Amino acid sequence: MIQDIAPWKLRIEYEPRTPAPEDFVFDFNREGLLLRQGESLSFPTLKEWLALPGEHGTEQLIFAFRLEHEEEKEREMRFFLVLRQPNCEIPVTEGWERLPAKALWGYGWGWPAFAGITAFHLHSWYSSRRFCGRCGCPALPGEKERSLVCPQCGGVEYPSIPPSVLVAVRDGERLLLTRYNRPGTPRYVLVAGYVEAGETAEQTAAREVLEETGVRIKNLRYIGSQPWGLSGTLSLAFSAELDGSDAITWDKEELSEACWMNRKDIPPVPNEESITMKIISAFRHGEW
Ligand SMILES: [Zn+2]
């Protein structure tokens, strides 16, 4: 899956570090992430980024994360994020391009895609919380932890990571699949939805399946989780069994289709980078 980047391991814990010339820089703006032009994802180093035209400097950078080599602990890559004011842009010059964050998904897998998507999650949070939500004063990054602190009222915000739930409902040899009712989502997926205030993830699973498809579930089992930086969420995946009637009444506003599909009729998935596709593929191959 997208977060499986062995032999590298994400070390997301915040460290108040000073960037070094060989460290990597994530520079997002409205057009996307600054990358070296080429076939693969390649981020500018601090040295390269500083040499680009425009007014920018290391005071705009904040530590994002490290990638640590699992076997050789002294090998690591460090990444910093640009916290830029909206009106301060770096023009794209020869040899560089900007790619929308969504395009990172599908640009080849491995640590660069996961690093770029995780950086996008951090960028989305920092850039949408530039002002304190209570008093409107410009917020400042916390010094010892990944937070935003209001110098006026003392309010503190931490990265927003709302949990969502995925449910793979089976009835014998059949799996409950849905398709979203919006352009660009032709694929079959699993029932999914956000956890609401006051709910347990288990209650969300039962509610979302009932709301989206009209069926009830039993024997809910936790499968695993996946960070999904493009939407800034954490997906919690479950399997469940049909409880009672198999009659489907799908939510026409949200879905274009919901159906029970026999194991042998499930089309191959394009990749197994998302936990949804991995679960569907495993069912298709008779692994559960
Ligand atoms: Zn405030």
pLDDT tens digits along 19-61: 999 999 999 998 899 999 988 899 999 999 999 998 889 999 9
| Distance between Cα 160 and ligand 1 center (Å) | 17
CATH code for the part of the protein at 163-284: 3.90.79.10
| Distance between Cα 264 and ligand 1 center (Å) | 57
Q: Has residue 130 got a pLDDT over 70? A: yes
| Distance between Cα 139 and ligand 1 center (Å) | 7
134 neighbors 30 (Cβ within 8 angstroms): no
| Distance between Cα 161 and ligand 1 center (Å) | 21
| Distance between Cα 124 and ligand 1 center (Å) | 20
CA distance 96 to 217: 51
pLDDT of residue 105: 77
228 neighbors 236 (Cβ within 8 angstroms): no
| Distance between Cα 153 and ligand 1 center (Å) | 4
Percentage of the chain lying above the pLDDT 70 cut: 98
Q: Does domain 8-128 have CATH number 1.10.3470?
A: no
| Distance between Cα 152 and ligand 1 center (Å) | 5
Question: E strands along 88-214, which residues?
Answer: 96-99, 140-141, 148-149, 156-157, 163-171, 174-180, 191-194
| Distance between Cα 123 and ligand 1 center (Å) | 21
| Distance between Cα 44 and ligand 1 center (Å) | 34
Tell me what the mean pLDDT of segment 166-180 comes to: 97
| Distance between Cα 157 and ligand 1 center (Å) | 10
Sequence ranges of the chain with CATH classification 3.90.79.10: 163-284
Say if pTM beats, i.e. exceeds, 0.75. Answer: yes
CA distance 107 to 94: 21
pLDDT of residue 81: 97
